[in-house]
Amino acid sequence: MKKVKTTNPELLNLIRFLKKQSTENKAKIWKDIAERLAKPRRRRIAVNISRLNRYTNKNDVVAVPGKVLGAGNIDHPVKVAALAFSEKAKEKINAAKGRCLSFYELIKRNPKGSKVKIIG
């Protein structure tokens, strides 16, 4: 059976960008995230706010190679980079004085990927 790859041009560009940044900055974290994003949609990660609250500390930087959903609460500020956010998740992260980032913004701020946690 033929292997079907994603046809979303924005996602393909993001995956290429992450792989390029991985080799340029010698940061394996971006390659790992790119490989997770290249998986089929049905195997992509969905993370609830409650999980972010459980596994992060104040002012942590987190990468989610998938979608952040709004179930649960968060009681400390975190910077979260993800492929997509639900509206409720954005509201809750911003209410906790956190930030919702794209992967492009995260790489611009931290090209080496140091102190970035992958949750999912």
Complete domains list, the chain, with CATH: 9-118 (3.100.10.10)
Annotate 92-104 with DSSP letters as a single string.
Answer: HHHHTT-EEE-HH
Instruction: Work out the number of other CB atoms within 10 angstroms of the CB of residue 105.
Output: 13
The structure's pTM equals 0.90
Instruction: Work out the number of other CB atoms within 10 angstroms of the CB of residue 69.
Output: 18
Distance, C-alpha 30 to centroid of its chain: 10
Per-residue pLDDT of the chain (120 residues; tens, 9 = 90+): 556 677 889 999 999 999 999 999 999 999 999 999 999 888 889 999 999 999 999 999 999 999 999 999 999 999 999 999 999 999 999 999 999 999 999 999 999 999 999 998
